[in-house]
Structure 1
Amino acid sequence: MRRLVLPLLLLVSYSALAADSFLSNFIDPDDGWFDGSQFLLDYPYGVLPVPVVITEPAVGEGLGLAAVYFHDADPAWDGERVGEDGRLHPLSTSAVVAAATNNDSKIVGGGHFGHYKRDTLRYEGMVGAADINLKFYGLGDGAENSGGFGFNAKALFVSQQLAFRLGRSNWFVGGELQYTDMETKFKTGIDIPGLDTFDFDSTNVALGVLAFYDSLSNPYTPHSGVLSDVSYKRYDESLGGDFDYNLLDLKNQVHFTPWQSLAVGLRLDASFLSGDAPFWALPFISMRGIPALRYQGENVVTAEVQGAWSLHPRWQLLGFAGAGQATQDRDNLGDAETHVSYGAGFRYLAVRQLGLNMGLDVAKGPEETVWYVSFGTKFM
């Protein structure tokens, strides 16, 4: 027995030292605060396990887990993470995620977001599968009084995007591919065998072109710069899909710092669809406080403003407000019902060397109050 005492003491001591050494990787030597920079960037296999807390009203509340890996910066930058212009050199990111909610929705997927050749080439690729329960509220101005119709959607989706920088400018141009295989099932509420559901199976395939301007100071938490994106996608039966329609998306955000401790962000997005699209593919108002698919239409416009006040180098308080319109008639877009949401939140700078912060937002929408676990302050 005594022969085991010393080895056990050594084992316990080593375990404590190892745990202390491991935890020390999460303490920033510059300010002594909790920080994930050293673990993620200075170790070759630093993978960030991120708890996924789902509070999206469209699918209920749920939990999941994501594994996020930040690849080291392009070797051409010689390990420098900040350029001469003060902008952060973007890292490539890979992630896998699995999650489930209390309305029996489930999703699993993964993606890679790559920056190559001194950020002259950008790639985004995602693939996943979902089994989700949602509601369809109708289109345009009639949606605000709708109680919604429940449906189940089983989907397989693939998204690919490649963009090239134009010279040494902040402009990129490229193309994209979108593929969705969808099985939807509506509950009719009629207790008759064979008539209790309506089933629809469909495939949606698109090829698109895009152009965007990106001068953001930081890809996660920008304090200055512009991100302006225009994309056109053609969904077509000749590509293997079941629908023929066009979708034009315009996404714009501007960030600036009027005072040293205040960062302001402005967002203006618009989507315009023409042709024969499935109901689940129609644009919708996407904003904190408003459930996904709650307000849909062939024409959607969303505007939002956000202010982030720095109380401390690590802590920020946020306030935000926005409004959106969705309608079937483009000529009457300005006269459509306006849906407003607003809220507040906070951020903690969790990965200082990447400028990545995370925290909570609470948003009051037209129907309910929702809280979100949020990463960064860039508009998604």
Structure 2
Amino acid sequence: MSARRRSISFALFGAALGFATIATGPAKGFDFNIFVDPEDNYIDASAFLARGGFIPVPVIITEPAVDGGFGIIGQFVRTPEHPGDQPPRTMIGIAKTGNGSTAGGILRSGNMRDGSVRYKYGFGAADMTMPIFPFGLDQSVDYHNKNLAGFANMRMRLGESDFWTGPRLIYRQTDVSLGEDADLGPVASRVRDQINNLFDSKQYIALGASLHYDTRNNPLSPTDGINGVLRLDFYDDAFGSDADFRVGQGALASFTPFGEDWSLGILSKYKWTNGDNPFFTLPSVDLRGVQSGRYSGDAAYSTEVELRRQFTPRWAGVVFGGYGESFVSHTKLYDAEGDIWAYGAGVRYKLARKIGLDVGLDLAKGPEESIFYIQFGHAWGRDMD
């Protein structure tokens, strides 16, 4: 699945059982006792996950860039041996979108050496149709990307500190072409064919490194602490890459509780590229309420603020707002865009109390449209890694 696109939101088990079931309140009459927390008699997945159970996870694709869609993920999640560690997780899934795109893959993450080493690896394949918005126009142009990809990364704790660092490996083989259009005239058709010939089938291979700082009280749905991530990936023909370029990203998330029931989160991130990179690797503004890839350039900045109110031990509400802008230095495909605002609200339910896992629903409004999201863990989970 595309590492760049925020096209898929997960609803672990909450979607499988139905939010309607959860919303009825205490599950006193529920027959499957393993899914009931004896502490409060509410639906809870902690005991089932602790046994290494298999959960079929519906994939609800709410991204307008691919016209929505649906899929299924088989997910195994284990309770970590040490409190605060990343829960070991294996995911195998497939998905199909409203515009005919398909994707499938496997992802594994876990810990080694008493939690002092964390790792993540995965591979997948996708046949995607995605829009781009060239030259600052409102009209999109579709492109097709047949993509085989794999990645692996590892990070090690530096002594007894809250810093982690380690290497990264990324492999991607792509076959990109612009979409067919029966209304194109002969000249425009020839231009399209020339562009398609430039793309052809290529592979992109990167070696990189990352530095992490992590003091979160929970890696899945934090309400306190800081998570900072700095990544730098080098694509180079010395590694077998068909293009030489660099991709870097810095992200800083901060969570501050105040009072007994309130928490404020702030996420800021900046992604940049340079070199001979293909257009589909260019950064874009990433906010809830903004279509994926809508505002792209050589660099992009996004910041989002989220205020959380805990109403009961299980239920919480969030309101959020964000700002973004894109920057252009050498690409001729995009124009710089600024003053991109988005906002929204959502609801959360603590589905697995013992590991602090929330699921939820968000509705966000951006410059062009409103977008609905189903969240598994925190909405910023992918940026916090």
| Same fold (TM > 0.5) | yes
Does the 8 Å CA contact 2:30/2:36 hold for their aligned counterparts? no
- In the alignment, what sits opposite 2:58? 51
What letter is aligned with 2:290? I
1:151 to 143, 147, 165: 143
Q: Is 1:353 matched up with 2:354? A: yes
Q: Is 1:167 matched up with 2:168? A: no
* Cα distance, 1:359–1:173 mapped onto 2, change above 3 Å: same
- Write the distance in 2 (CA, Å) between the matches of 1:69 and 1:28: 20
- Write the distance in 2 (CA, Å) between the matches of 1:239 and 1:226: 34
Does the 8 Å CA contact 1:181/1:203 hold for their aligned counterparts? yes
- Write the distance in 1 (CA, Å) between the matches of 2:45 and 2:163: 32
| 1:233-252 pair list within 5 angstroms | 233-252=233-252
Does the 8 Å CA contact 1:222/1:378 hold for their aligned counterparts? no
- In the alignment, what sits opposite 1:312? 312
The structural deviation recorded for 1:71 is 2.9
Residue aligned with 1:306, SS? strand
Does the 8 Å CA contact 1:272/1:299 hold for their aligned counterparts? yes
- Write the distance in 2 (CA, Å) between the matches of 1:377 and 1:315: 14
Residue aligned with 1:323, SS? strand
Residue aligned with 2:296, SS? coil
- Write the distance in 1 (CA, Å) between the matches of 2:372 and 2:116: 37
Residue aligned with 1:25, SS? helix
Measured against aligned partners, the alpha-carbon deviations of 1:144-177 in whole angstroms (never above 9, x if no partner) come to x331111111101111101111011110111101
Gaps of 5+ in 2: 1-28, 331-335
- In the alignment, what sits opposite 2:18? none
- Write the distance in 1 (CA, Å) between the matches of 2:176 and 2:210: 30
Residue aligned with 2:48, SS? helix
Q: Is 1:65 matched up with 2:72? A: yes
- Write the distance in 2 (CA, Å) between the matches of 1:21 and 1:317: 25
Does the 8 Å CA contact 2:295/2:337 hold for their aligned counterparts? no
Does the 8 Å CA contact 2:170/2:205 hold for their aligned counterparts? yes
Residue aligned with 2:119, SS? strand
- In the alignment, what sits opposite 1:186? 178
- In the alignment, what sits opposite 1:257? 257
What letter is aligned with 1:304? E
* Cα distance, 1:160–1:22 mapped onto 2, change above 3 Å: farther
Measured against aligned partners, the alpha-carbon deviations of 1:158-211 in whole angstroms (never above 9, x if no partner) come to 111011110111101111011111111103533669857535222111110111
Measured against aligned partners, the alpha-carbon deviations of 1:250-280 in whole angstroms (never above 9, x if no partner) come to 0110011012111111001001211111000
The structural deviation recorded for 1:329 is 3.3
The structural deviation recorded for 1:49 is 1.7
* Cα distance, 1:183–1:258 mapped onto 2, change above 3 Å: same
Residue aligned with 1:233, SS? strand
- Write the distance in 1 (CA, Å) between the matches of 2:319 and 2:338: 24
Paired residues, what number? 340
Does the 8 Å CA contact 1:248/1:272 hold for their aligned counterparts? yes
Residue aligned with 1:241, SS? coil
- Write the distance in 2 (CA, Å) between the matches of 1:135 and 1:89: 38
- In the alignment, what sits opposite 2:302? 302
- In the alignment, what sits opposite 1:37? 46
- In the alignment, what sits opposite 1:16? none
Cα RMSD, aligned residues only: 2.0
Does the 8 Å CA contact 1:163/1:174 hold for their aligned counterparts? yes
Greater alpha carbon shift after TM alignment, 121-130 vs 236-245: 236-245
- Write the distance in 1 (CA, Å) between the matches of 2:110 and 2:268: 26
Measured against aligned partners, the alpha-carbon deviations of 1:66-85 in whole angstroms (never above 9, x if no partner) come to 111113433xx5xxxx3xxx
Q: Is 1:340 matched up with 2:341? A: yes
- In the alignment, what sits opposite 2:289? 289
Measured against aligned partners, the alpha-carbon deviations of 1:27-73 in whole angstroms (never above 9, x if no partner) come to 110001011111111x2x41222111101111111111111111343
- In the alignment, what sits opposite 2:213? 213
The structural deviation recorded for 1:378 is 5.1
- In the alignment, what sits opposite 1:13? none
- Write the distance in 2 (CA, Å) between the matches of 1:21 and 1:348: 18
What letter is aligned with 1:346? V
**Greater Cα radius of gyration, structure 1 or 2:** 1
* Cα distance, 1:109–1:160 mapped onto 2, change above 3 Å: same
Measured against aligned partners, the alpha-carbon deviations of 1:314-359 in whole angstroms (never above 9, x if no partner) come to 10111011011111139xxxx9522111100101111111110101
- Write the distance in 2 (CA, Å) between the matches of 1:92 and 1:40: 11
Q: Is 1:274 matched up with 2:281? A: no
- In the alignment, what sits opposite 1:372? 373
- Write the distance in 1 (CA, Å) between the matches of 2:89 and 2:232: 25
- In the alignment, what sits opposite 1:98? 94
Does the 8 Å CA contact 1:265/1:307 hold for their aligned counterparts? yes
- Write the distance in 2 (CA, Å) between the matches of 1:89 and 1:248: 26
Residue aligned with 1:312, SS? coil
Does the 8 Å CA contact 1:60/1:101 hold for their aligned counterparts? yes
